[in-house]
Structures are given as structure tokens and as C-alpha cells.
Structure 1
Amino acid sequence: MRYLPHSEADRAHMLATIGVADAEALFAAVPPSALQLHALDLPRHSPELSVEAHMRRLAQANHAAGDGPFFLGAGAYRHHVPASVDHLIQRSEWLTAYTPYQPEISQGTLQMLFEFQTQVAHLTGMEVANASMYDGSTATAEAVLMAKRITRRNRVLLSGGLHPQYRDVVRSYLGEDEDLICLSPSPEGQGDILDRLDDRTAAIVIQTPDFFGHLRDLRRAADAAHAIGALLIVVVTEIVSLGLLEAPGALGADIVVAEGQSLGNALNFGGPYVGLLATRKSFVRQMPGRLCGETVDASGRRGFVLTLSTREQHIRREKATSNICTNSGLCALAFSIHLSLLGEAGLVRLARLNHERANTLADGLARLEGVRLLNGTFFNEMTIALPVPAAEVVEALAMRGIIAGLPVSRLLPGDPSVDNLLVLAATELTTDQDISALIEGLREALA
């Protein structure tokens, strides 16, 4: 919409200042078909109070995650975030900080990222971690590119238990690459990824707990990959699980990528989230993103600097390891603060509580006629097979205010073998009443 000052004198002064004869000359380069010549068909402006009331009415039509029983997971989890996290990240020292290019004025941001990296390295059992990435899916794709550079091979195997959206992001990165092998979904268990290894393989990508909730045998996968010179990339979408499960690095992983949303970051309608990436020290020069390090200044005082930044903004494009041009700084800060508040003992207790809630859910599901639990192992997420299409059951329960999980068909459309599969997650916020409501709702829907 074209805009000029309302006053004729102001209009004339502006046109004279910029050296054009009339207003039409301002738009000479715009094709006539793109010009908006008439007022848009929008309501007249309203008082702020009326707009606020209208927006509140619209918001009341939503059903938020905390409005009733909620069993969605599949890469985005509803956990309790302490109020202190939100308070601390809004302090001006953090909220107004941007990128740490000038260490002399960015010590707070740099130290936070250094501590964040340390936490991620400890969680994953790896030697070095970067200062975060966009989210778990893009971190996975970056890890695949990293593995291809390290091994100088092209063939990559994606497990059938990898989150479908993560698989799609990797496909988007690699394009129509015939060396990218995506195995079929493996709802019942491990799949046959290790049978596909050969001396052309750069890496295998395995998620644990996987999309269907199964825990994967990382040690066996690492041994098989290393035997033919390939790397093992481990994906973790539920970072809280590492409070209870052995760290992937201790089991032979070469690169660990994860979604950190579960700590410090609410669901937020799908983002922004925070991608984690950690690896072995010997691979650090091929690691994407940025790395903050500790040093001393000219006076011998402790300080922090940007040790490694291998992005296309900083070096020649052909030498860059990534074109992700930032880290998720505020989300990484929230992650780090929440994890600091928990401490090691608190994270372990939180993980145990998640697993206990999932066990209670699994016990209830096992008593339902016609429902089959596919998992022999799980952390806080599992898959059940229903006698009818899962999407129909989820819609029926949604009408009762129960968000009953994710129908697998939503992320794998066109695959009739998954139509009856439903993925459910339970966290520390899942109550006995929530589980009872779900079980009763499923019993009635299946009747």
C-alpha cells in the first residue's frame, strides 16, 4: 500500500528532497499489476480494548497442551519449565545480547555458551559440543554432511526408526542423492540397518529412543560401523532420557545430535527449539556451527572467546562446514539454566519420574482389549496398534478434550501398514487422572 505524508506541504517537501516530480515517480519501477491502487478490504480500526477482547475470544477457542490430558510427543514434549527460567532469560544482560563477535563486550554470552557446551558434552558422553544449532532435525542433516567430509565417502543409511521429519530434512539437504538410503519404518523393533553396511558407507543414523519409542542397541551398531570404517550418528529427540540411559558417547557414538526443547523450552506452537551437536575432539575441525572456548587475557585473567567458527559468513564459502548462520542462543540459555537448576541428581529424578509415568500408562494400555503394545523397551514414549485407524480414534478423543497422541499416518501418509499405529508419550506432567481418562476414552472409542 502506498503511503505519503498527509499534509500537502509535507508531501511537497519530501518529493523535492528526494528529487522526484510527483508520487507516481516513486513507483515507476513497480509493474502495474503489482500496485495496490485501492484500499484493502479490511475492517475499520478499533479501540485497543476491543481488539484485545476479540483476540481473547479467539484464544479461548484453542485447546492448549495444559488444558486436559495430553499424550503427544514425537520430538516435542510437554515438561514443566520452572518460572525462574523465564525470569532469568529476560534479564537485560541476556535478552539484549546478540552475537559474540567482540569478546571484550560479550563475556556473559560467551561464558553461557561455554557452560552450555560443557553440559551437552557431559550429557552425550562426547568430548566436544558446539554452541547449538537450529533444532534436532537440521542438526541431524549437518551431522550427515560432517560424516561424509570425515570419511570421504557418500553412502548414508537412515534407520527406519528415525523421526520421519528428521529423515525429510536430511533428504532436503542432500537432494536426489542415490547414496542416501532411507530404510522403511520399523515399528516393531531394530530393522535391518546393519545388514546394509558396506565399505562405501560414510555413516549410519540411529535414533534412540526412536520414533516408535524403542531403545536401540548402540554398542552393536557402533562396532559394526567401525569395523568397515563408517561413523555412527546417534539422534536423541527426548533429551531428558539421557538422565537415565547410558550416554551415546560411552556406547561408541561418533556424533550425537539431539533436540534440547525438553529442557527450558516450552512447546511454543512448534518452536523455536535448540539443536545439540557433540562429537569427538579429533573431528572438531569438521564440526559445523561455532565453538566457544576458555582462555586468559593479557593480565592472566580468565576469559572466553569464539574459538572456532566455520560458517560461510566467516570464511570462504567453499571452505565452510555449514551455512547455518547462527546458534539458538536464547533457547540454549533456557536449556542451560533449567539444567543448572536441576543438577545431575535432579535430572536423574526427572528422568525416573518420566519412565515411571510411562510404565503406568503402558500397564493401563495392556488391559485394553484389542490394543497391542509394540514396545519391549521404552523411556517415556511408546507405540500401540489399534484394531481401527488411529487417526479416527484421536479425533474422537479430541472431541472429549483428550489429546491421545500422534497417529503415525499423519507423518507417514500413504503407508497403510501404519494406519492403526498410535505413538503416545507420558512425562512428569501426566497424572493418574490423565491416564485414566485416556484409557476410558480408548475403551469407549474402540467399542
Structure 2
Amino acid sequence: MRYIPNSPEERAEMLRAIGCTTIEDLFRPIPEKFRLREPLRLPSARSEAELLAFFRELAARNAAATEYAVFLGAGAYHHFIPSVVEALISRAEFFTVYTPYQPEIAQGTLQALFEYQTLICQLTGMEVANASLYDGSTALAEAVLMAERLTHRREILMARSVHPEYREVVRTYTRTLGLSVRLMDYDPETGGLQARAVTPSAETAAVIVQSPNFFGVIEDLEAIAARAHEVGALCIVVITEPISLGLLRPPGELGADIVVGEGQSFGIPISFGGPYLGVFATRERFVRQMPGRIVGQTFDSRGRRGFVMTLATREQYIRREKATSNICTSQELCAIMATIYLSTMGPRGLRDVAEQNAQKAAYLAREIARQSGFRLRFCGSHFNEFVVHSEHPVALVLEKLRERKILGGLPLERYYPELRECFLVCVTEVIPRSAIETYLRVLDEL
């Protein structure tokens, strides 16, 4: 049934109040030649049953992760999601969540966000974390602006092995602010960022490195952070595959000043690229310059524990010149999904998942390297992603894999022209041994 909130009489009254007689009068500023004078060429209305059948047919054209073996990564990862995540997140208390402006009726949401912040601090080795940002790319861009505010410097050093789309978002943020972004190239043998390539100056606000980087290579964060700190610059560490934190040392223990990244791997579906979860953590001494919101613990007049929004430095709440960001929301629903996932898995479960990722990726990488016409492009240590060099056309290789219902990897020429003969492969815990063996058979048949 069509929803029309105003009666004809009420609409006529509103038109009279603004000096109009008909709805058409509202469109007078639009030139006559641009106005639509005939009905839109749309199909006739369908019944609910017909509409559902139509959308099922459309959906069937997609390559669903339930039907294909997905060896794609590059910032969006296919992991197992425990059923409890969807069951709990579908409860009305969480599913309809919005900004908890009234803590007296939002204690459940606030407590879940407080626990999310605690979990992120434990994983990253940092002292404070916010209640989330939009996604990993905007979290990185916000970290760059935060570094500029803290250091009052105008240069950013960023590794070329940082996710290319994250780099584009940083450029978009900095383009009109007078900040210069200087790229540091990756080592052609290891695929990682060598400490000697990190050359900050007295004008450098931050050094940005991703680990594991876009090629899946694990970076030497301690050495890179030390180079940044020699000139008083901050070290920003980006993580696009947070499952790696189940195995790797936390960036905070290796000298990172700000840790940002994408939390999608923590119980959030791939969902065609969003919504995702921006992770942001830093040192307590920098908290006043951190974007987003922080949920804190407090006690009422009777000594009972409660939770409130402790810090919200967006321009809607405080004077614009003192605001740290104009991002006007957070990904609270996705943050709660991540909280449920991490609480369900626990430290041991997360480590088990990380180990499965690393072991399966190591096995496939080793076996591909034995195939004629294929080799590993980089020799650096990797987690669950690696780059394959192919003597066969990359498009042909991936098409042959698709014919066997395998999404075999990401061609790299689009992002790195010098790697036109390479593709990025990711292996997660959901990939069965049978899919790996089929993958290898297809390569062997080429």
C-alpha cells in the first residue's frame, strides 16, 4: 500500500503557504527542455511473488562465495563466520542501533562498544581505540590528518606496498590541504619495505607502512618505526587482514604510534565491499587528537558501573576549530559484529584460524612454485597472501580457474604496471584441500 502522509487538503494548504497553486509550480526553475513530459519507460508493476522470483534470477547470475572457491583477498577476505554472530546481531537491541546519545537507555550498546575498544587495544598493543570509523581506507586518511595535527609537519612518507585504494583515499584527503605525499618503493626481491628506503626528513609528519602489505609480505615494523622516530615522525601501521594479529606480534610492541586498518575479517561478510569496519588505535597521550568516539566506563551515585560516550571530537559536538574530524558517525553495528566474533573465538581460536591461513597459504605457494611456468614473485615472508608470476597470460590463467568455479586471484597490472604478469593469491581457512588440489591441476594443464 502506498504511503502518503499528507491528505490532498493538507498539500494544498502547504502550497498556498509558499505561494504556489500546484506541485508543478515547484519545478519552474528547471528549464522546460529538461522536464519530463511523458511517463518513464518502466515495466508494469509485479506481484510480490513475481518480484521475488525476478530478484532470485538476478542473484543467480552472481558468483557467490558459497558456490566458488575464493582465492581473492586484497582487503576483503572470505572467512568463516560463526552462526552466533548473525543470531546476536539480529536482535532488535543491536540491529536498530544508532548513536547512543542517551546512555540511560543504551547501556547494552555502550558496553559492547567498550568491549570492542578493549579487544582492539589487546590485538594491536595500543593504549586507546575508538568505537570505529567507516572502513580501513578512511581510518588511514584520518590517521594522516591526526599526524599532521600532532607534529605540525606537512610531509607524509607512504610505502607503495600500502593498499593502492587506501593510497588514493589519502591523496583525496590531502590534495587540498597542502600536504605532500612521498612514496617509498618496495624491494623488488622481497616485496617488502627496506629500512634503508625509509628516508624521513625534519618535515615528515608520519611514515606509513602496511603489514602484511598489499603483496602479503610481512614488514619489519620495528626497523621502520625506528627510522621514523629518529626525526620525530610518527609511525602509522595499516592492517587490512586483521586475522594476522592472531600470529604476529602486535604493532604497538614494535614501535607503532597509530594503528589503523580494516576489521571486515572479524565476522563481517564480504558483501560486495561494504559496509565494513574502520579500526583506529593509538597511544593515550594522543587521545585528544584521535578522530571518532570513545566509550568509557564510569560509576553512578550508587557506585554501579555504567558506560558513556567519554570523548566525541567531531565538529557537531564542539567548536569546529577544535574538532578532529567531520566524519559524523561510526560503524557501530559492524563493531559489535566484530566484538561477538572475537569473543566467540577467543585468543586460542583466533590463533588457530591464523595458523590455518598461514599453513594453507604456505602449502599452495610452495606447490605453485613447483609448477612449470609459475613462480613466486617475492621471497619475503608472507601470511595468507602471495604474488604469483605467470609465463602464461594472467587473464587466461584466471579464466581457466573460473571455469572450474575457482576465483583464482587478483591481477596486479591495474595497480602496479610493472607486475603485469603477476596476480595476487589469498588462502583462508575456508578453502578446502580439494579446492587447492583443483587449483594446482588447472595450472598444470596450462
Classify the TM-score, shorter chain: over 0.9
Distance 1:4 1:357 in 2: 54
Residue range with higher mean Cα deviation, 48-57 or 174-183: 174-183
The gaps in structure 2 that reach 5 residues or longer are: none
Aligned pairs (5 A) from 1:34-433: 34-175=34-175, 177=178, 179-184=180-185, 186=187, 188=189, 189-192=191-194, 194-195=196-197, 196-373=199-376, 374-412=378-416, 415=417, 417-433=418-434
The total of aligned residue pairs comes to 436
Letter aligned with residue 192 of structure 2? Q
TM-score (norm 2): 0.93
Instruction: Note closer, same or farther for the CA distance 1:235–1:12 as it changes in structure 2 (3 Å cut).
Output: closer
Question: Percent identity between the aligned chains?
Answer: 48
Instruction: Note closer, same or farther for the CA distance 1:187–1:313 as it changes in structure 2 (3 Å cut).
Output: farther
Residue range with higher mean Cα deviation, 335-344 or 49-58: 49-58
* Residues 396-416 of structure 1: per-residue CA shift (max 9 Å, x gap): 32233210110112334xx2x
Letter aligned with residue 413 of structure 2? S
Distance 2:422 2:54 in 1: 39
Instruction: Note closer, same or farther for the CA distance 1:40–1:314 as it changes in structure 2 (3 Å cut).
Output: same
Q: CA deviation at 1:443?
A: 2.4
Q: Tell me the SS of whatever aligns to 1:334.
A: helix
Instruction: Note closer, same or farther for the CA distance 1:117–1:13 as it changes in structure 2 (3 Å cut).
Output: closer
Letter aligned with residue 332 of structure 2? G
Letter aligned with residue 190 of structure 1? G
TM-score (norm 1): 0.93
Distance 1:31 1:396 in 2: 53
Distance 1:134 1:57 in 2: 32
Letter aligned with residue 197 of structure 1? P
Q: CA deviation at 1:253?
A: 0.6
Q: CA deviation at 1:23?
A: 4.5
* Residues 87-114 of structure 1: per-residue CA shift (max 9 Å, x gap): 1011111112210122122211111111
Q: CA deviation at 1:318?
A: 2.0
Is the CA contact (8 Å cut-off) linking 1:159 and 1:193 kept in structure 2?
no
What CA RMSD, in Å, does the superposition of the two structures yield over aligned residues?
2.0
Is the CA contact (8 Å cut-off) linking 2:157 and 2:204 kept in structure 1?
yes
* Residues 189-246 of structure 1: per-residue CA shift (max 9 Å, x gap): 2345644222221111010000001110011111111111111110111000000000
Letter aligned with residue 430 of structure 1? I
Is the CA contact (8 Å cut-off) linking 1:364 and 1:435 kept in structure 2?
no
* Residues 331-382 of structure 1: per-residue CA shift (max 9 Å, x gap): 0000000000001111111111111111121122121112111233111111
Q: CA deviation at 1:16?
A: 5.2
Letter aligned with residue 161 of structure 2? G
Q: Tell me the SS of whatever aligns to 1:233.
A: strand
Letter aligned with residue 60 of structure 2? Q
